[in-house]
């Protein structure tokens, strides 16, 4: 997470949101890249008026990845369920979720994991592995003299496969690759190529998988959500019905970071609720009245 930018997002005196119904993407110290005990998030939720949070610690299937067998299912479930009991009387609902790293070569292993283990809520995401051409030290060479299409094709193909798998409640940080491409390829350049996004968005529509508006990009070099407002609007145009929003927090001060903006992106695209799942039930979480369209 070393390319996360500091401080406060431009124009925001306090980038951590208040008085929202849900932050659907948070990592605790049971993820290898996070350092936050679950009770710290719960206390922050009380203080900031975030009514419901999803704990979505990483699970990897490639043994070379850091979240492979990092924390077992029983430990993660027990930690979340016990915290949910502790904090229910304080007005915070804690859901036991997971962020599963999607790779086509491990799709059957992911499918089997989800057959054997019950989560309240699942996110499927494509990440950047140790041998990826998108690692920071490789990007300059990758992009030198290459077309935008050729640069993003491997990543977007994997994301489309994740969407078409139908394995997940939500597809996480769809164009997270922006984080590593700046400044060689800018978010504005990607935003001009909606044709690159359409196959992924259509796959989400066809499988009924939700689209996450991930606000971590607001504190990173991309300086916009993953995906951008234009992509969320395009998803709606194509018939998308399910969106959610999460801060992708890995540190205490990233809790609900930019989430107000994430909700606004969602509302301006025409959605009046967030899609979520509690146990076996899909639910619609209404947007707060301040986001109502005129």
**Per-residue model confidence as pLDDT tens digits over 194-234:** 999 999 999 999 999 999 999 999 999 999 999 999 999 99
**Domain-located, residue 4:** no
20 neighbors 242 (Cβ within 8 angstroms):
no
pLDDT tens profile 76-120: 999 999 999 999 999 999 999 999 999 999 999 999 999 999 999
**Domain-located, residue 1:** no
**Domain-located, residue 10:** no
Q: Is the dihedral of CA 65, 173, 207, 200 positive or negative?
A: negative
The reported pTM is 0.94
**Domain-located, residue 9:** no
Q: Retrieve residue 222's tokens.
A: 């991309």
> How buried is residue 164: exposed, middle or buried, by Cβ count under 10 Å (0-12/13-18/19+)?
middle
**Domain-located, residue 294:** no
**Domain-located, residue 112:** yes
Q: Which residues contact 18 (CB under 8 A, 6 or more apart)?
A: 48, 49, 50, 256, 260
Question: Which residues span the domain enclosing 118?
Answer: 23-129+136-289
User: How far apart, in Å, are the Cα atoms of 211 and each of 82, 91, 123?
Assistant: 29, 27, 10
Q: At 85, phi and psi to the nearest 5?
A: -65, -40
Rounded to 5, what percent of the chain is helix, strand, coil?
40, 20, 45
Domain harbouring 29, CATH code: 3.20.20.140
**Domain-located, residue 214:** yes
Domain count along the chain: 1
């Amino acid at each position: 997470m070393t390319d996360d930018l500091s401080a406060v997002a431009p124009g925001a005196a306090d980038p951590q949101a208040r008085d929202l119904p849900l932050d659907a993407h948070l990592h605790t110290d049971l993820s290898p890249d996070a350092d936050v005990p679950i009770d710290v998030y719960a206390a922050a939720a009380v203080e900031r008026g975030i009514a419901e949070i999803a704990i979505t610690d990483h699970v990897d299937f490639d043994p070379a990845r850091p979240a492979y067998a990092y924390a077992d299912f029983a430990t993660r479930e027990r930690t979340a369920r016990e915290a949910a009991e502790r904090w229910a009387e304080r007005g915070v609902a804690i859901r036991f979720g997971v962020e599963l790293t999607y790779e086509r070569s491990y799709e059957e292993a992911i499918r089997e994991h989800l057959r054997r283990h019950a989560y309240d809520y699942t996110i499927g995401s494509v990440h950047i592995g140790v041998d990826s051409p998108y690692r920071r030290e490789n990007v300059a060479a990758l992009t030198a003299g290459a077309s935008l299409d050729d640069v993003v094709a491997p990543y977007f193909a994997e994301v489309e496969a994740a969407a078409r798998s139908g394995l997940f409640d939500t597809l996480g940080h769809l164009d997270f690759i922006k984080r590593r491409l700046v400044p060689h390829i800018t978010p504005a350049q990607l935003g001009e190529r909606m044709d690159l996004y359409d196959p992924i968005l259509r796959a989400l529509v066809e499988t009924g998988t939700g689209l996450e508006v991930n606000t971590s990009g607001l504190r990173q070099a991309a300086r916009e959500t993953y995906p951008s407002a234009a992509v969320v609007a395009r998803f709606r145009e194509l018939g998308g019905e399910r969106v959610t929003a999460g801060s992708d927090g890995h540190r205490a001060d990233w809790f609900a970071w930019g989430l107000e903006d994430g909700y606004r992106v969602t509302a301006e695209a025409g959605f009046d609720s967030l899609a979520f799942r509690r146990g076996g039930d899909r639910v619609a979480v209404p947007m707060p009245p301040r986001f109502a369209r005129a």
